Structures are given as C-alpha cells and as structure tokens.
Structure 1
Amino acid sequence: MAVPSVPASAATDVEQAMFEFVDAYNQAWEAAANEHGLSTAHACVLGRVETRRSMGELAEELRCDASNITQIVVRLEARELVRREPNPDDRRSRQIVRTPDGDDLYGAFEETFAFPRAAAANLTAAEREQLTALLRKAMRG
C-alpha cells in the first residue's frame, strides 16, 4: 500500500501530526507483516478472522471488492492459516476461520507490531486517556 510521505496540500499542525502518525503506523504495520511473510492485506484479513466471518462481511468491513478478499483468502488457505467452513446458520454459505497455525502467526505478528504500544508508552496515563477521548470524539464527525 503506497502512502505519500506528505499531505498533497498545505496542512494545519493537527492535520500534519495526524498524517505523520498514520504514515508511521502504516510503515510499522507493513514492516511487521513483511517480517512474518505476509502482505499488509494478508495481515489485515488474518486479524479480522479471529471469529468466523463471511467473505461478504470482510469485503464490506474492509471496503473492497469481494474478489480481492477471495484472492487473499486463497493465499492464506494455501499457507493453512485460514479455512472455509460451512456457515452453521446457513449451510449454503461459507465462513472463514483462522486455523491454529493462523492464530500462532497472527499472535507473533501482533507482538512484532509494537508501534501502538510504543507510541502510547510516550504518554502518561492521563494523556492516553485524553488522547483516546479526543480520537473517539474526532471519529464521530
């Protein structure tokens, strides 16, 4: 996933800081994924199937075409990190679930992806609480 290193237009200080944070987060995500032989998309899907999910649910949640999810799932299946199982509520459809190997790999990925923990460690408990509240407030817009 290519992300520009600077905003396309002049930004306010808060916009610049948000952009820098997102850019650093994305770079750390990509580095952690690469360390475990995953693409950023594969790591994302693997994380989302902690519980059973349909392809359609994944596509909608990730705002991408279902064919993209299918390709990712096929590759994860080839590595035996996920499997497709019948939906217990509707046998006509299938759901994606992580395998034990997928659980192990994603757990290792999460340990490697230390960026959010490291960033939060730079803040006091009160600052973390304040930042959490402000981010949630900003996202309501």
Structure 2
Amino acid sequence: MAVPSVPATAATALEQAMFTFVDAYNQAWEAAAAEHGLSTAHACVLGRVETRRSMGELAEELRCDASNITQIVARLETRDLVRREPNPEDRRSRQIVRTPSGDDLYGAFEQTFEFPRDAASHLTDAEREQLTALLRKALGG
C-alpha cells in the first residue's frame, strides 16, 4: 500500500515531521516484509503472535475485521509460520501461535527491519530518552 509522501493538510512543521517519520517507517516495514516474502499485514500478525492470541484479540488489536485475520492466518498457516491450537482455558475456541519456522522468519525480519535502530542512532542517549518520554506523553501515557 503506497502512502503519499507529502501530507496534504499538515499545517505545522511538527505535523510534517511526524508524517515524514511515519511514512519512512512504513516504507521500511514494507521493504523488510517483502524481503522475506511477507506482506505488511502478514509481518504484523506474525509479530503479534509471539504469544498465544485468539483471532478476536488479533482483530481488536489491529482494528480490523475478524475475517481479514482469518485470511491472513490461513496464509501464514500454509507456509507453516503459525498454527491454530485449542485454547487451554476454553477448548471450544482456538488460539494462534507461531511455529519454530515462524519464529525463525520473524527473527530474520526483525534483523532486516533496521529503521528504528538507524533513526535512533542519530540521537544521543539523552535525546533517545527524551523522545521516548515525549512520544509516550503524546500518546496519552
């Protein structure tokens, strides 16, 4: 999915900088995913199932329709990257878990996705701490 490289309505330098950063992050995520034969959505779901998750939990976390998660999980299952297992607390429901192959592929993906480390390398330790605090504050935390 291509994202426009110039915000149409960014009124401030902060908004423009935020848009540029998010755009660069998304492009790097997409390139890293493609390098491993994943779509951006597949890489996202694969990362979220490091611990057991239900389809509903994934859909809620990713703010998408459960049918989309079902399709993504089915494609990841075909590649033996995830599997569906019975929920130990409720055998009527299923949970998604990464397979060893999924762990290996996601580990390789994380090594390829260097954008956050590269971006942070331009900052001092104090600046990284300050940026972390400011981002948390901006997100209401």
* TM-score interval (norm. to shorter): over 0.9
**Counterpart check, 1:65 vs 2:68:** no
How far has the Cα of 1:9 moved from its partner? Answer: 1.3
Counterparts of 1:133 and 1:11, CA distance in 2: 24
Question: What is the alpha-carbon root mean square deviation over aligned residues?
Answer: 0.9
Runs of 4+ aligned structure 1 residues displaced above 3 Å come to none
Using the alignment, how far apart are the partners of 1:10 and 1:43 within structure 2? Answer: 29
Equivalence map 1:54-93=2 (5 Å): 54-93=54-93
Match of 2:36 in 1: 36
User: Structure 1 length as normaliser, TM-score?
Assistant: 0.98
SS of 2:117 mapped into structure 1 = helix
Aligned pairs for 1:1-141 (under 5 A) are 1-140=1-140
Partner-residue secondary structure (3-state), 1:85 = strand
SS in 1 for 2:83: strand
Q: Secondary structure, in 3 states, of the residue corresponding to 1:118?
A: helix
Instruction: Work out the CA distance in 2 between the residues paired with 1:59 and 1:30.
Output: 20
Identity over aligned pairs, percent? 87
Q: Which runs of 5+ in 2 are unaligned?
A: none
Long gaps (5+) in structure 1: none
Residues 45-64 of structure 1, C-alpha deviations (whole Å, 9 max, x = no match): 00000000000000000000
